[in-house]
Structure 1
Amino acid sequence: MEDLQLISKYLEEKGLLISQCSANYIQVSKSGDATISLKITDSRFNLGRWDYTPGPGENDFSIDIDTLDEATLIIWNYFLAQPTTIAGWNIDLHRYPYWSLAQMQYRLTNLVHVTEEQFEAIKDERQKRFDRTSLEYLSRNDIAEKMQFIDCGKNLASGEKLKIRRDMQEAYAIHAT
């Protein structure tokens, strides 16, 4: 596709590495960093990073995008943007394109402050909440949404770590004990 070639050229000019896998599929990377795939399917665009099998790992994602411009912006932001500072937290928001700034701001106003030990107990409780029978009916992504916590930032003043559940329904400020 001609548009994909133009986007590839633009991203290469920004210092990103492009591998043309097929007419409708490229991989974008930065030296020493992740690789993101961009696939065109049925006039939609799928962006993904999938490093863990069966996955998803903490940094893995797969999202569908409506326009090539939006997909390009997400790729540019992923590799070239800097962490966002919100309310004293330095957050790698650009690395999680399925999250929004508004969601993050809301989550930060409702943080739960816990120790590392308390957080581990919370994670264990989340694991127990889903029994084997309920897991059989959920996709891997659905399971990760409910049980996976992402380490995505640090408080600039206190050094606390920010852990947010993948679906952004829970957020914790974790201080070392």
Structure 2
Amino acid sequence: MTFQPLDEPIRSRRNHWVNQVATHAAMRPGRIAFKYKGVDTTWKQLHERSERFADALSRRGVGFGDRVLILALNYTEYIEAVMGINALGAIAVPVNFRLTPPEVAYIVADSGAKAIVTDSVLQPLAVGVAGQAPDLSTVVVINGQTGAGVIGYEDVLAEPGEPHAPLDIPEET
């Protein structure tokens, strides 16, 4: 299947959750989408940050149908990452952080993931298994150390560059 980019800013004709966030961001930008550890995130912030994450992944070759693993504890960035991944028509693959390194390595290799999102606690595991996956070229770390093939989540969001083209993602995918 191929999907055409959309011209309309809010893709309201689909009931996809990424579209719902965009709708809420347009209609009630200052309203709180969720709270985490005493910090409020508005619909506008959620939408803008998840779109910037999608832009960064797109510039790194992630597109429709690709897999992006998420090996992280609970963070606001986890939700942003899932939304950004889905905005590309890519598939977020949550990985249980309680799995052993061989089990995580198997999931990474079997999924054909192009990227992995992790956090500072799980960064050593993510970096270790990323080296065993030929298709995996991007490791993004929430609140972690950067360098040696690893980029920080906030650094990714701050990157300049072309935005991704919005897609008409069917509800059945």
Query: What's the TM-score once normalised by structure 1's chain length?
Result: 0.24
More strand by share: 1
Higher relative contact order (CA 8 A, sep 6+): 2
Query: What's the TM-score once normalised by structure 2's chain length?
Result: 0.25
| Structure with larger Rg | 1
